Amino acid sequence: FDEAASRAAYARQAELTKPAGALGQLEDISARLAGVFGEPTPDPRGAAVIVCVGDHEVTREGVSAYPSEVTPAMVNAFLSGHAAVNAIARSVNASVTILNVGVATTLAPHPSLVNAPVRLGARNIRVESAMTRSETLRAVLLGADVARSAVEGGADLLVAGEMGIGNTTPAAAVTARLLRLSPEAVTGRGTGIDDERWTRKVEVVEAALSRGASSADDPMEVLADLGGFEIAAMVGVMLQGAACRKAVILDGFVEGAAALVAARLAPNFQAFLFAAGLCAERGHRAQLNALTLSPMFDLGLRLGEGTGGALAVPLLRAAAATLREMRTFAEAGIPR
Amino acid sequence: FDEAASRAAYARQAELTKPAGALGQLEDISARLAGVFGEPTPDPRGAAVIVCVGDHEVTREGVSAYPSEVTPAMVNAFLSGHAAVNAIARSVNASVTILNVGVATTLAPHPSLVNAPVRLGARNIRVESAMTRSETLRAVLLGADVARSAVEGGADLLVAGEMGIGNTTPAAAVTARLLRLSPEAVTGRGTGIDDERWTRKVEVVEAALSRGASSADDPMEVLADLGGFEIAAMVGVMLQGAACRKAVILDGFVEGAAALVAARLAPNFQAFLFAAGLCAERGHRAQLNALTLSPMFDLGLRLGEGTGGALAVPLLRAAAATLREMRTFAEAGIPR
């Protein structure tokens, strides 16, 4: 992160033809983008959404409103270009890549699918660790690989998205452990479960945490113990994005769990991270607070897939455009 | 407004491949767009920002941090393409047209300028009505004309923006009268005035209201008495946009005053109005509440010009894209 470029951008914002601070949070975003891209007038253009997909044996515990069969069906929807993330990404001129790191069924090849399952679903975190250390590392590296390809393909803005029936349960467990919060505080309604199922979900998160297999001080251990393959892959996407000095856009709650892990692994990572919307899933606000991020909007999204992240793409482009294309009072010859 | 199309859009949102309601406010926006455009799968593309510009003799009272000379200088900035609204509009593929309805100095012709001053500045509202009835009507009709041209040029999404040193003072007066609120409740910091100047501004708004020249029951009278030329022109832009069955995007506080007038003049107008961001200027929340609108984002913008409205353009396009390009569970063959 280029602090000098960021400071130069802040200084320029103060001189542009508008009252000081009148562009609000957009000014901070623009200056952070300057730091990310290492130049006072950044020009982020290409945007890529990487949807990481995996299943979770914890769905056996009745934590989700949908069965695991929906995961491969949604992958087909993504590949056909007709899911929410496709529609939104197209409208903001962002690419969509699907990364299968752990769907429970075998998927047919497809040009838009990176088909590299580490295992056919993460293990049931109520009774055992989701992944081994080496499985976890493989999923992280797969995410990093896809992110590198996206960057090589011209992506300046990277959105890590996800899909995987049941994955708000491991995301809640990871968040609870890393932030030392209670299961109730971070367990939400996911795809829309009722009170009874929510109580069960909290119990499952509680049981997973009670196994005590991971220490909050070892983020990779927490990820392996309580996470899942698509969460691990998103950690890789995010860390690679930051390593390539690109802006990483944070979308929803499951993505937030990955961001918490990434932030623990790489202290400077947060500087490259931009929060899109405030997700309606309980626990997202606690994640953003821990990451010291302010969301750009609050539209009540709770879908994941990278939909919120894709919506933020034009806002980041616009913020950068103000730095790049506006003139200062002096340049424009306007009295102040 | 086509209620049937809107209902059909809501019904379709409930069947699309996502948990019910998971796209949050985006679903409501999409269904409202369906009602505006009279089809269940709307496709709003072209976007136009119309920046209405005028001056205010009330600046003599010391209500603004900037002198009136800044107004024509900012017009030049708009015409050169280097102001905030230009940068943001370009980044979202929206056109920008400048409408001079009341700048205090004579402006040179320019291809992007509709140069039609009704008067060289609105009168000092502390001591007299800002405009005569006929001047007001001319400004409204000029705004309507420019909006019609924009629609004929392909605009589906219309942003009424404004610039005019001193114009948060008349906007506060119009808002206070129409909403029957105190001057303190709706008078903000504008371009960034200090406490002393703010106290003076409140006194000026109070004095304008005390003249008692307009009744809250006659919105055109309130507009003429307490408003200004660019506010009147925005009323015309907004009403014409709705009359042409296009979506009108509401930006900031001065725009909000125009929207209140428009809503009083045309009962069905609000159905065509979409609130972009929550503006940082005091009184904007009260305007949105009166218009029963929820803002899409809160980025602390307080610039006007149509900047917030332009930022909302990609969000509206994305909302419509979900209706148009997503498939239902049945269409996609996904179990639910």
**What local confidence, expressed as pLDDT, does residue A163 receive?**
97
Say whether pLDDT at A45 is over 90. Answer: yes
| Distance in angstroms (rounded) separating the CA atoms of residues B44 and B317 | 6
Q: Which residue has the tokens 């992240």?
A: A309
Quote the ipTM score. Answer: 0.94
Q: What pLDDT, on the 0 to 100 scale, is given for residue B86? A: 98
A282 class by beta-carbon count within 10 Å (0-12 exposed, 13-18 middle, 19+ buried): buried
C-alpha pair distances (Å), A305 with each of A98, A310, B29 = 10, 9, 20
Strand pairing report for B113-115 and B94-102: parallel
Per-residue pLDDT of A206-243, as tens digits, reads 999 999 989 999 999 999 999 999 999 999 999 999 99
Same domain, A29 and A128: no
DSSP state of B17: S
Tally Cβ neighbours within 10 Å of residue A38. 13
Looking at chain B, how many residues does it have? Answer: 336
Instruction: Please list every residue in chain A whose beta carbon sits closer than 8 Å to the beta carbon of residue B26.
Output: 299, 301, 311
- B292: CATH: 3.40.50.10210
CATH code assigned at A328 = 1.10.1610.10
Q: Residue B169's domain spans which residues?
A: 46-317
Q: Looking at the structure, tell me whether residues A22 and A75 fall in a common domain.
A: no
Catalytic residue chosen out of the listed positions A162, A305, A325, A331: A305
- How many structural domains is chain A composed of? 2
Question: Whose structure tokens read 């014409």?
Answer: B240
Residue A332 has what pLDDT? 85
Q: Rounded to an integer, what distance in angstroms lies between the CA atom of residue A241 and that of residue A146?
A: 10
Interface residue A105 vs chain B (CB under 8 A): no
Instruction: Give the mean pLDDT of A116-135.
Output: 98
Question: B326 and B216 in one domain?
Answer: no
What's the rounded Cα separation, in Å, for the pair B128 and B105? 21
pLDDT, average across residues A20-30? 95
B76 and B21 inside one domain: no
CB B330, CB B74: distance < 8 Å: no
Cα separation, A297 vs A318, whole angstroms: 15
Phi-psi region of B56 (alpha: psi -120 to 50; beta: other; left: phi over 0): beta
Helix-, strand-, coil-residue percentages of chain B, each rounded to 5: 50, 15, 35
Q: Which of residues 289-328 of A touch B (CB under 8 A)?
A: 296-303, 307, 310-311, 314-315, 317-318, 321-322, 324-327
What's the rounded mean pLDDT across residues A141-147? 98
Question: How many residue pairs from chains A and B have C-beta atoms closer than 8 A?
Answer: 195
- Do residues B188 and B133 share a domain? yes
Residue A316 CA to residue A25 CA, distance in Å, equals 11
Active site residues of B: 305
Q: Does A81 touch chain B (CB under 8 A)?
A: yes
The answer to whether residues B42 and B13 touch, using CB atoms and an 8 Å cutoff, is: no
Query: What are A73-115's pLDDT values in tens digits?
Result: 999 999 999 999 999 999 999 999 999 999 999 999 999 999 9
Q: Are residues B240 and B194 in the same domain?
A: yes
Question: Using CB atoms and an 8 Å cut-off, which of residues 185-224 of chain B contact chain A?
Answer: 190-192
Paired tokens of B9: 């859009």
Phi-psi category of residue A227: left, alpha or beta, with phi > 0 → left and psi -120 to 50 → alpha: beta
Angle at B283 between CA B279 and CA B284, to 5 degrees: 35
Q: Would you give the DSSP letter of residue B93?
A: T
Catalytic site includes residue A61: no
Pick A24's closest partner by Cβ from B26, B83, B302.
Answer: B302
Q: Which residues of B touch A327 (CB under 8 A)?
A: 77, 80, 82
The CA-based diameter of chain A, rounded to the nearest angstrom, is 69
> In angstroms, how far is the first alpha carbon of chain B from the final one?
33
**Euclidean distance between CA atoms A166 and A64, whole angstroms:** 5
Is the domain of B139 the same as that of B28? Answer: no
Residues in chain A, total? 336
pLDDT at A336 over 80: no
Q: Tell me, what's the pLDDT at B193?
A: 86
- Which of B21, B84, B318 lies closest to A23 in CB terms? B84
Query: Among partner residues A69, A297, A326, which is closest to B83 by beta-carbon distance?
Result: A326
Q: A299–B18: do the CB atoms touch at under 8 Å?
A: no
pLDDT at B45: 94
Question: Looking at the structure, do residues A56 and A168 belong to the same domain, yes or no?
Answer: yes
Chain B residues close to A335, C-beta within 8 Å: 67, 69-70, 73
- Confidence (pLDDT) at A143: 98
Mean pLDDT, chain A, integer: 95
Do A52 and A77 fall within a single domain?
yes
User: How confident is the model over A171-205, as pLDDT tens digits?
Assistant: 999 999 999 999 999 999 887 889 999 999 999 99
| Residue B203 C-beta-side C-alpha neighbours within 13 Å | 9
Assess whether B110 and B209 both reside in one domain. yes
A273-275 sheet: strands from edge to edge: A113-115, A94-102, A46-54, A155-163, A247-250, A273-275
Q: Are the C-beta atoms of residues A253 and A278 closer than 8 Å to each other?
A: no
3-state secondary structure A187-241: CCCCCCCCHHHHHHHHHHHHHHHHCCCCCCCCHHHHHHHHCCHHHHHHHHHHHHH
A46 interface with B at CB cutoff 8 Å = no
Q: Which residues of B touch A298 (CB under 8 A)?
A: 297-298
**Residues A137, A272 within the same domain:** yes
Mutate to test the interface with A, among B93, B298, B313, B331 (most CBs of A within 10 A): B298
Q: How many angstroms separate the CA of residue B116 from the nearest CA in chain A?
A: 23
For chain B, which residues score pLDDT lower than 50?
A: none
Both A126 and A267 in one domain: the answer is yes
